[in-house]
Structure 1
Amino acid sequence: MSIRKTLSVTFLIIVASATTVLANCNQIDGAASLADGSWLFRKNGGWRPVSELTPEVADGRARRVTFAYVANEPGLKSARRGILLIKTGIEGPQATNTGRVALVRDNYERLRDAERCESYPAFPSGKTVRIRSYDYYHDYSEVADETDGDTLKTFHVSYLARNGGCKPSDDATPDSYFASRRRSNRSDFSFNPDVVRTGQSSRFWAQFGFGAAYAEPLAERQVTIKRYVADAAGLACVVFDSVLKPGGFIRINDLERRFGLFRTEEQSWAWPR
């Protein structure tokens, strides 16, 4: 197969696996009554919680599923802006196409020209980085390859966080140094659940290769960044599609959702084994 054909096929796979769109909540009945962080899937014209998704794939057939994420924080004094992070891939015996991580992001514009906080560098479709580069950066803040490092830097954005300040989507500042809360925006991008749960490890260990082997059983990895902006009532919805198939998983993180002072846990769904 020619290089041009290979790139074309790769691009089609990337687009088909997790095409995403930003939407308001008009199409989701009762969205304002849902809890912050509700994750739904579309069924027969309505919406059901993702906890009910597993029986829908009992026949073992791959299918495209439409999901919705609801941010709902009416008690916040200002309309929340945030980033929804969507990670997909294949694990287990079906994980045969390993090697690179696909990066997907829309080219957003600033909501207001006067706000210099938001930064969305132009990012072309079809961009990928090596697994090692992706994992070293988000697990250890280590740049393993200069070219991939530049791609990751362009992929990430800066947005107006809930405290009113600018925050990069790859900000590595831990939530707290003194309460065993070392999670950060950057660690939430990790495909290693332990890193997402506890935060990044020391850079010192990265030079010895610790943690790099975790990514090997994962294939067809893709990471998508979606911006959301809540309305005056604190409500926002993000609707996106993903192709589910045997061995597949999907994980989401809202970088600005909090329980008290700390960020909430990653939500995930995996194809039943």
Structure 2
Amino acid sequence: MQEKAQLLRDNDMIEPALVHTERTVSGGLKTRRKDLTIVLLLASNLLSFMLLLLPRLWSHLPPTTPDPTSTSNASNMFSPAPTIALVSELPTHPVQFHWSTAYSSPDDSEADDLWNAIDTAHGYIAVEHEWARERGWMASMPVPGDETKALYVLEGYHQFHCLKIVRTVFLQSIAGKELSYPVQHARHCFDYFRQFIQCHADPTPLYTLGRHTSGDGQWHMCKDWNALRDYATENSACFRDRVGNESLREQFGNCEGRENDGVIA
């Protein structure tokens, strides 16, 4: 009887302890569920906020279109959006393209006169440093003899310069003559033409009759070369190509006869 009574007393002591433990565990689980719910709500709100914020952040990032062939993509990838240097918009007019012109005459001596008449130095212009800076032009060297102005060359004239070099190297090569320019200069010009063609991506649909020609006599909408020539004349840097051993300074300062560039337009 005493042992039975002792067991009953022990059970009476164990049962309240079990009840207390069950209540503690139950309360702890409820607390954990509550904490977990709060954490999930906070995470959900944070995710929603980020989804709303990221498009706005992306909209302020500058677009990047790296040149896959460039050797400086790593440094340019995160550069700010560039400012494109431009002069006043040139007027446009329709121009016919022809398969053969006097510039492509099989008589090289006849064509030589036309190509040699093209004065690419006409495209060197001089403008005030501050004027150029206000328009987002990249800083350029001062004009020799006039430090107040910056020297630039208009793109169209630079391309003519490259084209004349490629033609000269080509004709001298097939004639077996000594080259007037390094071959690498011609390679540069070929690559420059490639970049220019890709930049403009001309979508003009050229007709073809299956005679190994396309677009002969077809009209194109072109910028007015005469207007570009006039702009170069009005802002001339009075530069002339070297014909002897003139210093760079001696190539500037003579503005006589700068009205014409020799281009037949």
Structure number with greater Rg is: 2
TM-score (norm 1): 0.22
Query: Which has a greater percent of helix?
Result: 2
With a CA cutoff of 8 Å and minimum separation of 6, indicate the structure with the bigger relative contact order: 1
Query: Which has a greater percent of strand?
Result: 1
